Structure 1
Amino acid sequence: MKQFQRQLDALERRAERKDEPAEPDEPIIRGPSRETILGHATRAGTERLAGRFGANTCGFYRESQGLFISSLGIGTYHGAMTRNTDDNYADSIHAALRGGINLIDTSLSYRSQRSERAVARALRRFLECDEGRRDEVVICSKGGYLVPDAMREGTFDRDDVAGGCHCMAPGFLADQIERSRNNLEIGTIDVYYLHNPEEQLRWVSEAEFLNRIRRSFAQLEDAVEKGFIRSYGMATWDGFLGGGLSLSTLAGIASELAGDGHHFRFIQLPVNLSRQQARTIPTQQGSCVLDVAAELGITAIASATISQGRLASGLSARIARLLPELETDAARSIQFTRSTPGITAALVGMRQAAHVAENLRISRATPLDAASHARIEDALFGEAEQL
């Protein structure tokens, strides 16, 4: 139909998206189709990996949702859409897996599907060259944003699209999950997030939003039943931090659809040295979102750990003194976030293997106890008051 209405009129002229400017895209060079990697992360598999690396680490793995998850995960958001960046990501993810990081975060929209394909390359290398196994790795992806050349006509109506860029229609999500599985070359995605669903609240009423959530959750529960995903969640920016999302309401919808055994088990949100609202501000009917997540049995993963590099340098001498065992500001930022009570893992985007090696030093540092973490929070509050 006129090339799907010219890709929905060039995604409604990109819908004023604020993604980083990209270099001119280089074509993706695809090799021959590969056999799908079957299986998914399991307790036995992730415990096996933690056992291989655990002797050289200090509290690096946390048990959550029946899995052992590294408290540092690798993200794949930024970077040019070029073959060089593809290669760098594949090398970095492979280095992360070889170093004991078993949490990988990506999205269909990241670098227009190229990041997912880089994950596939790294995973195959880990399995074929390092005797790694699929059940040792927790692979997370996301859907929600319209991606050029990654939409199928008939899976959604134009009225399902919010702001020209975001969709949660059941047929659309089914198609996006299938595309992500194909890009990742895996049979099952361990965690599938709705990507920034709060985007829709700018365009539709709360009642319509919750109706769309109900239909999307039903689709995601169906995807679990079919073995396409293992669990689902929401990857948000400000959604749980005053952006209109109620975690207890969302968990209630999941319970209504699938009972106590529902699979809405993960959230992702920004937590770092300059963004502590998830722990300190009661945005959830009088409670902080991390407290609510813990009460509901929902795992919280931190994004923006080093704030896209802004917290990798320039921290105050006072913060450095409170983390004397760490050599770099990037490590101090990671240590603070992964030690935040209620956070299972801290994501850091790494597209250079050297950065992976540097950041993996955190695995040998004991996570902060609650008192030490609170002292840093107090120091940060004091610094903010002086500004």
Structure 2
Amino acid sequence: MTEAARTAASHGADWVDTAPNYANGHAESALAPVLAEHPAVRVSTKVGFIPEDAKRIGVRAGALSESDADRGHCLAPDYIRWQIARSRRMLGRIPDLVFLHNPEHACQEGDIADRLYRAFLALEEACDQRGIPAYGVATWQGFNSGLFDLPLLLELATKAGGSQHRLRAVQLPVSVVHLAPVAQALDGHGVLAHAREAQIEVFASAPLHGGEIPDLITAELVDLISPGSTPAQAALAVVASGLGVKRVLLSTGSTEHWREAADTVGRPPLPPDVLRRVVDVLGT
């Protein structure tokens, strides 16, 4: 992870995304030297999933209940405050953004609004105390399951922090496997369209679906999307062209792969008619 981040930062990346539970709980500390070497690079982390090595410490500190530690996921205000402070120490700096990590985890539909509101209150408090400048929501299934949508998130953030709330971003999977957000935005609705209207940044996660997508892209589909590109470049072009997508999150330690990805993401977006044909071919 350290070398992948160093490669990205050395070749123009201006943002690194991480979480306390990544890399067996060592991701944040592994990034600290890279962030020190590249102070202009911004960083986002998350709160929700509990690293194994933090469970016992969190319980002893009074930030976690035994039951939450056993579940391995927590968005209680005390834990949010504790984990933000811990992330700051691990990263060696204040994160630029803290995402709630999969708030839908083990949550029933009737409980999600209260869970989010209480978490937003804690995050707004952290912003007031200059512990962090902004926050967001990172989800795998929250939007596509209908458990919540961006209007609800904005309503709850406004309730927690007023009209000047610090909800700034959402993170969700967008790829040729997860095309629904792109398709919805083409028709003027869904999370990408709402985010653009509300000036909320969209971080597209898993754009290559764990590296599986290049093997799924046919030569005919590459020609439809971007003739002359590699399958990975064609897939990334679709993601980067999604309405309102601000950042495409990619993990690679290969300089060649990074340069190819950066070149693709930096190109003008694909025309809507091309995206519609891709959706017609692949479905949602």
TM-score by length of structure 2 reads 0.89
Q: CA deviation at 1:234?
A: 0.8
The secondary structure found in structure 1 opposite 2:134 is strand
Corresponding residue for residue 141 of structure 2:
238
Unaligned stretches of 5+ in structure 2? none
* Aligned-partner SS, 2:282: helix
Corresponding position: 1:192 with 2:98: yes
Higher normalized contact order (CA 8 Å, seq sep 6+, divided by chain length) = 1
Alignment of 1:1-20 (within 5 A): none
Counterpart in 2 of 1:313?
A: 215
Aligned-partner SS, 1:142: strand
> Quick check: which has more Rg, 1 or 2?
1
Q: What do the CA deviations read for 1:236-265 (whole angstroms, capped 9, x no partner)? A: 011011251232122111101211110111
CA distance in 2 between counterparts of 1:165 and 1:349 reads 25
The SS at the match of 1:194 is strand
**What's the offset of the Cα at 1:326?**
4.5
Equivalent in the alignment of 2:63: 155
How far has the Cα of 1:268 moved from its partner?
A: 0.5
* 1:165 paired residue among 68, 72, 75: 72
Question: Which one of 29, 32, 54 corresponds to residue 117 of structure 1?
Answer: 29
Amino acid at match of 1:168: L
Q: 2:66 and 2:89 mapped to 1: Cα distance?
A: 25
Q: TM-score by structure 1 length?
A: 0.66
Alignment-derived partner of residue 274 in structure 1: 177
Give the C-alpha shift of residue 163 in structure 1.
8.0
Amino acid at match of 1:210: A
* 1:260 counterpart residue number: 163
Select the residue among 22, 29, 47 that pairs with 1:143.
47
CA distance in 2, matches of 1:209, 1:323: 38
Q: What secondary structure does 1:150 align onto?
A: helix
Report the Cα distance in structure 2 between the residues aligned to 1:210 and 1:355, rounded to whole angstroms. 40
Q: 2:190 aligns with which of 265, 288, 291?
A: 288
CA distance 1:248–1:141, change in 2 (3 Å): same
Q: CA RMSD in A?
A: 2.3
Q: Does 1:343 align with 2:248?
A: no
2:183, 2:279 within 8 Å by CA — same for their partners in 1?
A: no
CA–CA separation in structure 2 for the residues paired with 1:302 and 1:162: 29
Per-residue deviation, 1:108: 0.3
Alpha carbons of structure 1 residues 162 and 255: separation in structure 2 relative to 1, 3 Å: farther
Match of 2:169, SS state, is strand
Structure 2 counterpart SS, 1:192: strand
Query: In percent, how many aligned pairs have the same letter?
Result: 29
The answer to whether 1:297 aligns with 2:199 is yes
Inter-partner Cα distance in structure 1 for 2:262 and 2:199: 28
2:232 alignment partner in structure 1: 330
State how far apart, in whole Å, the 1-side matches of 2:201 and 2:266 are. Answer: 23
How many residues align structurally?
Answer: 278
Structure 1 gap segments, 5+ residues each: 1-88, 127-133
| Alpha-carbon contact 2:4-2:251 (below 8 Å) kept | no
Counterpart amino acid of residue 207 in structure 2: T
- For 1:294 and 1:91, the matched residues in 2 are separated by 33
Could you say which residue in structure 1 is the equivalent of 2:270? Answer: 368
CA deviations on 1:349-378 (whole Å, 9 max, x unpaired) are 223444323423325633323233233323
